[in-house]
Amino acid sequence: MLRITDPRIGVPTDATPARRGLTRVEAHVPRPDTTGLRVLLVADVLVRALELGGTPVWTVLTGAADHTELRARARALGIRPFEEERDSGTGLGEAQVLHVLGLGGEAAGGLRVEVAPVDDESGAQDEESASALRLALLARPRREPLRLAAADLADAEEKLRRWRGAVAAWATKPSGPIPDPVRDQLRAAWEDDLDVPAVLGVLRKVATSGTVPDGARFETYAYADRLLGLELTRDIGREGPV
């Protein structure tokens, strides 16, 4: 079960109600800058983690009056749409509320999922390097401030190129189940306060493992990508170098 460490409480707390009732994830984004995008991205991954655990989720975006620019950047990064606060009514009887917000942000009730700011010096063009930006933002613990340079995006683009190429090659091999220890490591990582860097660490180990068959590597990466949203299976079936 996913557990979140709210800094006000200081101990891991169940992110879902005991009977799997509706959970509201509310993203507080006052500005459409890269810090705001990081907050919304963490909220997106949080929703994915909850849904993988079988929890019904209702998403709400709050903060600035006009989210047009933010939504455009979010679409480029593969972030699924959140409802506007003004359209959300008074609630749907949710049993749990999770607030995703920047450090020092304000929200009443529920659990807080805090996200540190980004000093973005990358000059990223989201439409051209969206997945690389997504990976660069996810690769560091969410509570750590992030300085994002052009070199960081280049590194992320190269990592994605290698992973997608490997996944496309593994997909041509006989399929195999995800080894139970690997599945357990993945779930333990994201269920421990949404530790996405640890999930990426598991994938790096699987890529170089001498015991995981190629077909099982493919299944592992495809499964983890349901959380990560990095389009790791994008190059399957493509001709030529990837």
Answer with the one of 100, 115, 130 that is the final residue of a domain.
Answer: 115
Q: What is the pLDDT of residue 90?
A: 52
Answer with the one of 115, 144, 170 that is the final residue of a domain.
Answer: 115
Of the candidates 159, 157, 162, 135, the one whose C-alpha atom is nearest the C-alpha of residue 146 is: 135
Q: What is the pLDDT of residue 91?
A: 57
What average pLDDT values come out for the chain (242 residues) when binned by 10 residues? 92 82 92 94 98 93 86 93 71 79 89 96 74 95 95 94 96 96 97 97 96 97 98 84 44
Q: Please report whether residue 136 resides in a domain.
A: no
Distance CA 141, CA 199 (A): 11
Q: Please report whether residue 133 resides in a domain.
A: no
Q: Do residues 101 and 8 both lie within one domain? A: yes
Distance CA 171, CA 66 (A): 43
Q: Specify the length of the chain in residues.
A: 242
Answer with the one of 49, 82, 115 that is the final residue of a domain.
Answer: 115
CATH number of domain containing 221: 1.20.120
Q: Do residues 15 and 106 both lie within one domain? A: yes
- Please give the tally of structural domains in the chain: 2
Q: What is the pLDDT of residue 108?
A: 83
Q: What is the pLDDT of residue 242?
A: 42
Structural domain harbouring 201: 156-228
**What pTM does this model have?**
0.93
Q: What is the pLDDT of residue 230?
A: 96
Q: How many CA atoms lie within 13 A of 113 on its CB side?
A: 32
Q: What is the pLDDT of residue 241?
A: 46
Give the helix ranges, DSSP H, for the chain: 34-52, 68-76, 126-138, 150-170, 180-191, 196-208, 214-228
